[in-house]
Amino acid sequence: MDETIINETITLLQELIRNECVNPPGNELRSIKTIEEFLKKKGVKCEVYESAPNRGNLIAKIKGTKKSPSLMFGPSHVDVVPVEKPDEWIVSPFSGEIKDGYIWGRGAFDMLFIVAAQCQAFAMLHNEKFKPKGDLVLAIVADEEAGGNFGCKWMIDNHPEEMKIENAVSEFGGFEISENKLILPY
């Protein structure tokens, strides 16, 4: 793969780690804005839905060419759980430091590396003029680690049309959505 693409994805991941979207309180709008900016630079349009002050969710879409089942990259969350024992960390948890060939940070694994990869993959498909049969949706959300009231749940209650999909790929792999409702595997 193109080295620029890899480096951009690493930089995005580091920014997401450094945004410290620890939930509570979340403050996910920081990372949502980082992603909005990343997509904007690549010419990808998206919508940001603010669910509360400093909290938000992002949707981008590539319309399908036919009436076929849709696929969501997500719902993927940008919030992270608190750092309970900072003394036990070998690097600062919000540094996004690269050490021994690994990117370190709270949330690097759950699930910011997936968020960064999905945003990059979505932008690449968009710019390759990929024409899916069904809609391809990128959904980045707040508040997965503390109930979802400002993230997924809020989106389903307030913007159900954006969340109606048939298939999804998120932190637990791929899954099918039954009866056109978003059923989370957690």
Is residue 110 involved in binding Zn ion (CB under 5 A)? yes
Closer by beta carbon to Zn ion, 77 or else 126: 77
Closer by beta carbon to Zn ion, 52 or else 81: 81
Whether 50 is catalytic: no
Distance (Å) of CA 117 to CA 50, 67, 112, 124, 179: 23, 27, 8, 10, 28
Q: State the catalytic residue, choosing from 79, 135, 143, 145.
A: 79
Phi and psi at 80, nearest 5°, equal -130, 160
What's the sign of the alpha-carbon dihedral 43, 171, 58, 108?
A: negative
> How far apart are CB 72 and Zn ion at their closest, in Å?
16
Q: Decide the pairing of beta strands 55-62 and 136-141.
A: antiparallel
> How far apart are CB 63 and Zn ion at their closest, in Å?
28
Is residue 111 involved in binding Zn ion (CB under 5 A)? yes
Is residue 12 involved in binding Zn ion (CB under 5 A)? no
| Residue in the shown chain whose Cβ atom is closest to Zn ion | 110
Here the tokens at position 172 are 């637990």
Segment interacting with Zn ion (CB under 5 A) among 54-62, 63-71, 135-143, 163-171: 163-171
Closer by beta carbon to Zn ion, 94 or else 113: 113
Size of the site for Zn ion (CB under 5 A): 3
Distance (Å) of CA 19 to CA 27, 52, 118: 9, 18, 18
| CB 124 within 8 Å of CB 61 | no
Whether 79 is catalytic: yes
State how far the Cα of 69 lies from the Cα of 110, in Å rounded to an integer. Answer: 27
Which positions from 164 to 183 touch Zn ion by CB under 5 A, shown as an x/- string? Answer: -------x------------
- Give the length of the chain: 186
Residues making contact with Zn ion (CB under 5 A): 110-111, 171
Task: List active site positions.
Answer: 79, 144
